[in-house]
Amino acid sequence: MNGRSLVTELIAKGGLYGLTAEKFSLGRPNPEVVRAMLDAGVRIIQYREKTKKMGAKFEECLALRAMTREYGAAFIVNDDIDLALLVDADGVHVGQEDLPVAAVRRLVGADRAIGLSTHSPEQARAAVAAGADYIGVGPIFATRTKDDVCAPVGLSYLDYVVREIGLPFVAIGGIKEHNLAEVAGHGARCTALVTEIVGVRDIAGKVAALRRILA
């Protein structure tokens, strides 16, 4: 199975979509946190570190790529297409202000997944037309994980995607244990929680609690 198929299959199957966020990880390095997520059963990992130097990101991604292969998990790199190619990631995730999907496809080829963040019905429809493999839907609620985040889109946009868009998708943005059931109840099968996972000491316990809600 190539990386593109692995990513889309895991997202369509549902569950937790893990992201790195070292500044919220209680002083722990990304490999330690990702290992804990993988041990707990998370099978999609996105590397998202906006401010690190490229050399440091490369070394971390090499380690995380080896680790995710060990667990049969998908590994996705945020924004840095060259980095995704160098470490043989399964996919790359881009935003609305990054390179367009068609240009990314020319770089990554047919065997890697392309995810695109979307914040409106128009952007979701455009993602389908452009050939994205999956979309991010959010931010559902207010979030401080990203510095350049847009206003929350709320559950109404999630309802639209569930009803009208055929692509696999990940619900993201401000999702916590206390509101995860509500998000899942609106049809989100795959959900991304950042600080709720990386920002706790007992990652295994937290992931188990979240998976019980999704089940």
The residue type found at 11 is I
Contact 187, 158 (CB under 8 A): yes
Q: Hey, which residues does 147 pair with through a beta bridge? A: none
- Respond yes or no: is residue 117 known to be catalytic: yes
Distance CA 43, CA 205 (A): 16
- The question of whether 156 is a catalytic residue gets the answer no
Q: Which of 48, 57, 112, 206 is catalytic?
A: 48
Active-site annotation holder among 28, 105, 125, 146: 146
Asked if residue 57 lies in contact with residue 80, where contact means CB atoms within 8 angstroms, the answer is yes
Q: What angle do CA 130, 52, 59 make, to 5 degrees?
A: 90
Tokens of 126: 């455009």
B/e letters for 79-97, b = 16+ CB within 10 Å, e = fewer, are bbbebbeebebbbbbbbee
DSSP symbols for 158-196? HHHHHHH--S-EEEESS--HHHHHHHHHTT-SEEE-SHH
Q: State the burial class of residue 156 (Cβ atoms within 10 Å of its Cβ: 0-12, 13-18, 19+).
A: exposed
Per the annotation, the verdict on 212 as an active-site residue is no
By the 8 A CB rule, do 34 and 121 touch?
no
Q: Which residues are catalytic?
A: 48, 117, 146
